Structure formats: C-alpha cells, structure tokens
Amino acid sequence: MPDNKIFLHEGREKSLLRHHPWVFSKAIEKEDSSLGGGSRVTVYSHEGNFLCHGIYSPNSQIRVRALSFDENTPCDNNLVISRIKTACSLRQKLIERGNDGVRLVASEGDLLPGLIVDKYNEFLVISISSWAMEIFKDTIVSALKDLFPQSSIYERSDTKSRLKEGLENHCGVLYGEEPAEVIYVKEAGSVLIPVNIKNGHKTGAYLDQRASRIRAGELSRGARVLNCFSYTGGFGLWALKGGARAVENVDVSDTALDAAKQGVVVNHLDPGRCRFIKKDVFEFLRRQVEKHEKYDLVILDPPKFAESAANLKKACRGYQDINRLGLELIAPSGRLLTFSCSGLMTPELFQKIVADAALDAGVDGRITGTLRQDSDHVVALPCPETFYLKGLEITVL
C-alpha cells in the first residue's frame, strides 16, 4: 500500500499532538491533489515528524480524519473491529438497566469518526457520514453481525455531512428484516418510546435525551406541562408517567404527533390528560403569553439553531427569544427545562443567553440542575465537539 504523505503548515500540528481527530484543509501545506476519497494517508508536521494515520476526504473542509496516532498501528479492519467491540462493551450496563434503545457507537466519541450505531430492540441502525467509515462499511456490518447475531441491520446514511463528503445517501436493510413503520423501545425499564427507523429524525429517535426525559417525569407530579418541539412525545410520556395533570405536546409534524398519540395508548396512560397541537412553536408560545397562560413545567428542546459559526449570532437570538417566551409562561416555583444541541454553543454562552432571556421576561430564576447528553453519547477527551447537548433546569421564583 503506497504511503500517501500529507504535510502541515508550520505550527499547525498542535491539535494532532493532543489527539484531536480532525485535520482541516487550511492546515495542509502539501498533499497529492489526485488522492481520492477514502485514501489512507499519513500526516506529518512541517518538519517531517509523524503525527497520525487517517482517511482522506477531498471535498470536505475536514480533509483528514485521524484514526491512529501510533505510527505502528495502521488504519485497518482490525483497528475498526476493536473499537466497535470496545464501544459496545461500554454500553452493556445501560442495556442491563432496562434500556432497549441505546447508542452503541458515537462517532468521534468512540474514535470512529463518522459512524453512528443505535440499537433499537433487535434492530441495529447504522449511519455513516464520512469517507473514514465508508471504506470500512462491510467490516462494520460484519463486526455487528458477530456481536449481535440475532439483530437485523438497517442503514440510515442520509445526513448533510455525507453530502459534504461527496458521498451519496444510502438507506435500507443491510442484513435481516425490514423494520415496522413504528417500533417501541423500553426506556429505564418503564416507558415505551416510539421509534420510526425508516423515516424518523436521525436514526429514528433522540436517545441522547434519555436522562432528561426521566428528570422531566420526576418534576411532573400534579403539574401542567408544556412540551415544545415534542417530536414523538418522549418528554410528554415521561411527564404523564410521573403524574402530570395535563400535558400539551407541540410540534409541526402530523406524523410525529400521531406517533406521540399512539405512544400514550401503548403505555396505557390517560389520553384525557394530554393534548397534541400542530403549530409552529414560536407562534404557539407567543399566543400563550398573550393569553397569560401559566405552566408548572415548560420543556424547550429545539432543533439545532447553529449549523455553522457564520450563523451563531442569529442562533443566539433565536435561543434568547424562545427562552424568554418559555420563562414568561412559567408559574411561580415552576421550572423550565431548556436545551441546546448546537455543538458551537458553549455551556457558558448558553447560560448567558438564558440569563438575558430571564431579564427580558422580567422573572427571577435559579439554576437548580444541569442536563446533558446521556452516558451512551460519550465524549472523547481530546475532542470537545463531542460534548454538544447542553441543558439547564431553571426554577422561577
């Protein structure tokens, strides 16, 4: 195998010395322009010192994704298989605690950049978003078949990141059976969460919010709950399970709301205690403020507002606006659970935005809890971007 060498500009090796897995195009001084996507490369400093082995992506700003920082450990099938096994073993206790929906592989968090593997009962859903993992696709499927021989494997490689890599989207059965339109996974041995593997968001569900959904249930006894951007109603189901007197789920998708309604039935919860409202969340919140409505618990779990550094300022305004509206709706001693899944949003900036929103709303609040992505969405120490989901529990005085 030829040694495709890439040399960095002087002084641009610092992040790789810390084992951060991304090499940006602007850091590169010398490369072979004829290299194709998926080529194995070795990256050197300006002075010619070894830095990493990785996989090349000619169309992406992240030109190389590092897989090995050991000169004697190549980017090969054995390395990928070993890391998949390690990642799955880390999730075993979470599965044993009654969670049928678990993220088995979390991309850079598990040193497999661009690979997501989620387990929903006996279905494994893989999503590949980089050349670094695309070239190992057959190896990944084979490793998962060995580890979970009773499971079917479905691909949901249909992300924007994949298109930026110059890869075509692929969805469909890779092994075993076709999943039903909606399946249900048990969460913490208690609540059944609807999952649409074939057509739902991401791989079918938001597993990263598991711990926060459980917290919402703990706060919901006797409460009037507003669940915004409800998707298939996971927060609402936990609120009903926790004893909420009323839950309002708000989303713009009929399909998501229909799944949320069915989730109430499947969990044998009282449909008379919940409403399902198809509405733009910003518009709905403004209307509720005008009507002087009050809730004991408001949940704001919006989609990613900051897709890039260029629109971070605009995203901040969106977060501040929605948190102001949410805080205006909270009754005294009530709580707000508010989240940002934008990786560019730091915890410090998010807290500042919510503080400014409270000032605008004219309320006095306290942070009584912090929330984050659940433990199966692991964070790699050298890669802070893998910590993306920030949440605050605010109590209004």
Range of lowest pLDDT (111-115, 165-169, 307-311, 361-365): 307-311
Backbone angles phi, psi at 14, to 5 degrees: -60, -45
Portion of the chain with pLDDT greater than 90, in percent: 94
Report, as an integer, the average pLDDT of 180-191.
97
Report the pLDDT averaged over residues 53-65.
97
Q: How far apart are CA 355 and CA 363, in angstroms?
A: 10
- pTM higher than 0.85 for the full model? yes
Long-range contacts from 136-140, C-beta under 8 angstroms, 24+ separation: 136/77, 136/80, 139/77, 139/80, 139/81, 140/80, 140/84, 140/115
Confidence of residue 275 (pLDDT cuts 50, 70, 90): very high
pLDDT at 305: 87
- pLDDT, one tens digit per residue, over 263-273 is 999 999 999 99
**Separation of alpha carbons 142 and 164, rounded Å:** 27
Active-site residue 316, yes or no?
A: no
* pLDDT over 90 at 253, yes or no: yes
Q: CA-CA distances (angstroms) from residue 170 to 174, 262, 275?
A: 10, 29, 36
In three-state secondary structure terms, 280 is coil
Q: Of these residues, 274, 316, 341, 383, which one is catalytic?
A: 341
pLDDT at 394 over 70: yes
Provide the pLDDT for residue 174.
Answer: 98
**Residue pair 124/152 in contact by the 8 Å Cβ criterion:** yes
Superfamily of domain 4-68: PUA domain (2.30.130.10)
What pLDDT shows up at residue 130? 97
- CB neighbour list of residue 288: distance below 8 Å, 6 or more residues apart: 226, 329
Fold (topology level) of 206-396? Rossmann fold (3.40.50)
The whole-number pLDDT of residue 307 equals 77
DSSP type of residue 70? S
Residue 195 CA to residue 203 CA, distance in Å, equals: 9
Q: How does residue 33 score in pLDDT terms, banded at 50, 70 and 90? A: confident
- Residue 343: the pLDDT is 85
For residue 210, pLDDT beyond 60 = yes
- Write the CB contacts of 301 (distance below 8 Å, at least 6 apart in sequence): 206, 209, 228, 229, 235, 337, 339
Domain ranges of the chain: 4-68, 77-175, 206-396
Quick one: fold of 77-175?
Answer: Transcription Regulator spoIIAA (3.30.750)
Edge-to-edge strand ranges of the sheet holding 50-56 = 22-24, 62-68, 50-56, 40-44, 4-8, 28-30
pLDDT cut 70: percent of the chain above it: 99
β-pairing verdict for 40-44 and 4-8: parallel
Confidence of residue 1 (pLDDT cuts 50, 70, 90): very low
Q: How far apart are the first and last CA of the chain?
A: 66
Using DSSP, state whether 159 is helix, strand or coil. coil
Helix (H) or strand (E) holding 16: helix 14-17
